[in-house]
Structure 1
Amino acid sequence: MEYGRNKKVQSTILWTLFYSLQIQDCFTVSNLQQNVTAVKAQSPIPSSPSSYYFLVEGDALENGFFHAVVHVGKELKEFYHDIDTGSDLIWITCSPNNIKFLKPFGIYRTPHDPYTTSNNLVSCEDDAVCGLVGKPVNPQCSQQNQQCDYQVEYADHCSTLGVLVKDVFLCGYHQEFDDSFSSPFTDGVLGLGTGKTSILSRLSDRGLVKKVMALCLSEINPGYLVLGDSKSNLPETIWMPFSNDHINGTTYNYFSPTLYQDVLSLVKELAEKTAAPVEDSYLPVCWRPFASSQDFLYSFSSLNLSFTGKNNVYFELSPTDYLIVSVKELAEKTAAPVEDSYLPVCWRPFASSQDFL
């Protein structure tokens, strides 16, 4: 089975997330700091009686990546999870015990030390659980009491192979990457797809939360991911229905190389009127001088993008949507002489498949 995720994914023992074993109730405003699922509440943002939330951290410009901060296990150890709407399973790299390895045990470098899992293996006879996952070529299921192996192939040709365990997570023991990709910046994957094995589907099927989620990102403070109904429905929040037509699991939607170059050429034409190209260590396409972090707003126009088709999608990008002040130069400006304190403004590579693939 192939999923739509285009980030790097590892072979793993699955994080079972059959939370009927762990969930007693959902978070409410009054017990927001109480842990009832081995997933810890992070900060006092508005919450409803049936929602779970996680902090979201990362830097789209530095490494093109965001992750959810998840606390797992009885000791609530912190791990970083890749947010993936194109796959369903949730797992974490760990050191498993007492299993039969179909491939050698191996750990890739992760932000945190591997988690040590318990020995609560899901057996082949548990068809309600084991029957939901894809199987490897030679699964260890000749006898009903044997471990439940699984295997998933992702759209980037990376794969995940492992064993289901009944714990507060799934455990990864063998990691593989395509040679054309670098290793991820996380300890595991938080699968938020529409399949039956995703955490959102499991919680929703048991009547614990509504099948909705919200992802709010911030360039200054940590953002957050909300599973279930939330009172944080701000007016600027854009809600979309769950649909396999547009949820493909990729971190970004990309322009084709030709379209990307056309848009970049247009921006360069705008820049020629008031600024000159300059090399910058932060991003590859930059211009200066600009006297303040807002000065470039008067030199660039909004981009009006129109995508023809059955829906004829049209939207507008303001200069702050496709340009950014160099972070490095902004930090150094306070120590620079007045005559040298001009800021370079850089093209934000939001749409280039060449930059993020």
Structure 2
Amino acid sequence: MEQHVQLGKAAAPTVVNSSAAFAVRGNIFPDGLYYTSIHVGNPPKQYFLDVDTGSDLTWIQCDAPCQSCAKGPNPLYKPTRSKIVSPRDSLCLEVQNNQNSGPCDSCQQCDYEIAYADHSSSMGVLARDDLQLMMVNKKQVTSSFVFGCAYDQQGQLSASPAKTDGILGLSSAKVSLPSQLSDQSIITNVVGHCIRENGGGYMFLGGDFVPRWGVTWVPMLSAATNYYQAEVAKVSYANRLLGARNKRSYLSKVVFDTGSSYTYFTNEMYTDLITSLKDISHGLAPDESDETLPVCWRASFPVRSVEDVRQFFDPLTLHFGKKLWIMPRIFQIPPEGYLIVNNKGNICLGILNGTEVHDGSTNILGDISLRGQLLVYDNLQRQVGWIPSDCAKPQKALDIPFLF
């Protein structure tokens, strides 16, 4: 029998101490995104949202009225005046401070505007409504949830038809969904996701699905941004260091970002990787006429999946240094984690030059390279962890490891 718990701003700080799991749909190619569904309002209505660990604010396309919206899978969210967040609300101040815009004393609502790396944008007002969650302990919880009521999308976000109704903000920011749920004592502030190489997967909020054993952990970097980022000592392709410029190691930053379909390297690393890949032959020839991605190869034999060519490529390895000077901490990306096969049967490189989308000083691991791993972002311990997984379904953690 289900139990229902109502939690909001005035709720007593009783920790529900549970987690919520969500099915994830989507793929790298051709969709280019992974998304899940949430239920907002009373009665609750379903919305499909892009799972984005690189975004602070969750937003849903809304009829406020809508000035520029994509035709999404579900009807637009329609707010009432009572749902609009005050400009003096603490989360409004948080959002506007992050956008370098101060509070507006004469405003009757809390406006926001977000610009993304691909030059798309979303504009709207903050709303507060009920978020319905089914927890792993079988309790149904209603949370008071602040999100963007998005009435003006530009760029790729306005393209129709769209597979999603908005974006699910999962960063460490105060306004992100996990932080709001944690502040209401619904979950511990832990986020996890596991996406499959052939599409789909799951994500979770709360610590119940974090494995007790076998996870490689690295500390999160403290930064002005709310990204999940860590310091990487070196990156190698096969046995060749990338971007080291004759040094044995160097320090760089890497961001784990499910809002990015592909992976981005700094210019030095990207240039070295392209140089290393020029040695690829085995019946593969560059195809500059293919505009799927900047680097594609045409094969002299039928190619149905990366499995058909993986033996011609080497893994990429991110080295995060050693724990206690003994145990190496690495994140390995197999060929399936940086290659796609397009509709032509060509093989394309899913790693791009970061200088083309941001300042180029940070490496970004996008969906393509995060597949086949359970990723955990522990905002309490300030650490990022990963462990290989088939991503079939979430498993509650066991306190004792299996012994074989």
Same fold (TM over 0.5): yes
Short-chain TM bin: 0.5 to 0.7
Q: Is the 8 A contact 1:79 1:187 kept in 2?
A: yes
2:8 to 20, 28, 33: 20
Q: Does 1:174 pair with 2:148? A: no
Alignment of 1:178-197 (within 5 A): 183=159, 186-197=164-175
1:255 paired to 2:265: yes
The separation in 2 between residues aligned to 1:290 and 1:234, in whole angstroms, is 43
What is the match of residue 110 of structure 2? 149
Does 1:119 find its partner at 2:81?
A: yes
> What is the letter of the counterpart of residue 287 of structure 1?
A
Identity %: 26
Give the Å deviation of 1:227.
Answer: 0.7
C-alpha contact 2:72 2:164 (8 A) present in aligned 1: yes
Alpha-carbon distance change, 95 to 308 in structure 1, aligned in 2, over 3 angstroms: closer
Distance 1:355 1:164, change over 3 A: closer
Measured in 2, the distance between the counterparts of 1:356 and 1:167 equals 34
Alignment of 1:39-58 (within 5 A): 50-58=18-26
1:20 deviates by 0.9
Shift of 1:226: 0.7
CA contact (8 A) 2:122 2:154 kept: no
Q: Does 1:275 align with 2:283?
A: yes
Tell me the TM-score normalised to structure 1 length. 0.62
> Which residue type is aligned with residue 216 of structure 1?
C
Corresponding residue of 2:49 = 81
For 2:348, the equivalent position in structure 1 comes to 347
Q: Quick one: structure 1 residues 297 and 131, their matched pair in 2 at CA, closer, same or farther if it must change by over 3 Å?
A: closer
Query: Is contact 2:315–2:332 with CA below 8 Å preserved after alignment?
Result: yes
Q: Specify the alignment match of 1:165 in structure 2.
A: 127
Distance 1:190 1:148, change over 3 A: same
What's the CA shift string for 1:300-322, capped at 9, x where partnerless?
24245567999998654433334
Letter in 1 for 2:336: T
Q: 2-side partners of 1:309 and 1:220: how far apart?
A: 31
Contact 2:170 2:191 in 1 (8 A): no
Contact 1:192 1:198 in 2 (8 A): yes
Q: 1:218 maps to what in 2?
A: 196
Residue in 1 that maps onto 2:238: none
* Counterpart for residue 91 of structure 1: 59
Which is further off, 302-311 or 84-93? 302-311
Equivalence for 2:300:
288
After TM superposition, give the deviation of residue 257 of structure 1 in Å: 4.9
Q: Structure 2: which 5+ residue stretches go unaligned?
A: 1-5, 131-144, 229-254, 359-404
Query: How many angstroms apart in 1 are the aligned matches of 2:53 and 2:308?
Result: 38
Query: Which has the larger Rg?
Result: 1
Q: Distance in 2 between matches of 1:166 and 1:71?
A: 13
Whole-angstrom CA distance in 2 between matches of 1:57 and 1:354: 30
- For normalisation by structure 2, the TM-score amounts to 0.56
- Aligned residue for 2:335? 319
| Residues 147, 163 of structure 1: 8 Å contact kept | no
List per-residue Cα deviations over 1:4-45 (Å, max 9, x = no partner): xxxxxxxxxxxxxx96169999999xxxxxxxxxxxxxxxxx
Partner of 1:4: none
Structure 1: unaligned runs, 5 residues or longer: 1-17, 29-48, 98-103, 330-343
The amino acid across from 1:86 in the alignment is G
Among residues 202, 207, 217, which one is paired with 2:180 in the alignment?
202
Higher strand content, 1 or 2: 2
Q: Structure 1 residues 282 and 304, CA, compared in 2 at 3 Å: closer, same or farther?
A: closer
The CA RMSD measured in Å over matched residues stands at: 4.6
Aligned length, in residue pairs: 292
Q: CA deviation at 1:70?
A: 2.1
> How far apart are residue 203 of structure 1 and its match?
1.6
Conserved? CA contact 1:94–1:115, under 8 Å: yes
